[in-house]
A and B are shown apart, each in its own frame.
Chain A
Amino acid sequence: MPATRRQFLSLAGSVTVAGTIPIVTMRPLEATPAMLSTAIRNVVGEASIRNGKVKLDIPPLVENGNTVPMTVSVASPMTATDYVKSIHVFNEKNPQPNIGNFYLNPSSGRAQVSTRIRLADTQKVVAIARLSDDTFWQVATDVVVTLAACTEDVN
């Protein structure tokens, strides 16, 4: 046992450092925020992305990351001159940053798409819509995941 308060504190400090490093290095498979922004730039190019218009319906707390229901809708009249061209969904921490690309047209009538996705960790999900005037609109939602998907072992 450490005899003095100073010895105790230095011991406690070294335990904390040793305990945090493996947690960081154990996850090489995650898409980093840099990969997320690269994936978004691949779709958007140099255009600026504004917040708004897009709505992302996804449970804030997910027990099983293997199937997470998700609905993306965009406020748009969906006429021949003003419609949503495509919807792109990204994640922050799955092994790779893309979730899906959905291509719409004026005859879609309503700019809304639903699917079920996988989430490997508690993270941010980003939905981006490209309108017919080539402006981009986005929304980001945080999702807490208790059972992760994607990288678990096969039994």
Chain B
Amino acid sequence: MAALINVPAKARRGDVIEIRTLTSHIMETGFRHTMDGALVPRDIITSFTCRYNGTEIFRADLFPAIAANPYLSFFTVVQESGKFEFEWIGDNGYSSTASASITVE
């Protein structure tokens, strides 16, 4: 459930900032077998969403080809101080959230 979020603490109005997120998840592909031949069931994060003061600014669909502990980096323009909310949704009812604040001058 642990997530690592990297958002600059301060930015100027209109700046393009980079947001980097890392969350811990096994991202089991569903294509691997145990030594006795049983298929390991799929367990991945399927969707990631980032909201900025309630508005969706970035969304991603993830597939088994995304490495374990999914890392995502993307950009956005900041216009006002506020809060970024991050949400990961996955198989077996997995859901995890995180947030980060930014001060815009």
Q: Which residues of A contact B (CB under 8 A)?
A: 29, 66-68, 71, 91, 94-96, 98-105, 107-110, 112-119, 149-155
Contact = CB atoms under 8 A, between A and B. Distances in A.
Interface of B: 16-17, 29, 31-35, 40, 57-68, 70-77
A95 B31 contact: yes
Main secondary structure of the interface of B (DSSP, over half): strand
29 contacts: A29-B31, A67-B67, A68-B67, A71-B73, A94-B64, A96-B63, A96-B64, A98-B63, A98-B65, A99-B65, A100-B60, A100-B62, A102-B60, A103-B59, A108-B57, A109-B77, A110-B16, A110-B75, A112-B75, A114-B72, A115-B70, A115-B72, A116-B70, A116-B71, A117-B67, A118-B67, A119-B65, A150-B29, A150-B65
A4 B22 CA distance: 66
Contacts of B31: 29, 95, 150-151
Contacts of B71: 114-116
A108 B16 CA distance: 8
B22 to A, nearest CB: 9
Given A100-B60, A103-B60, A117-B66, A95 B29 contact: yes
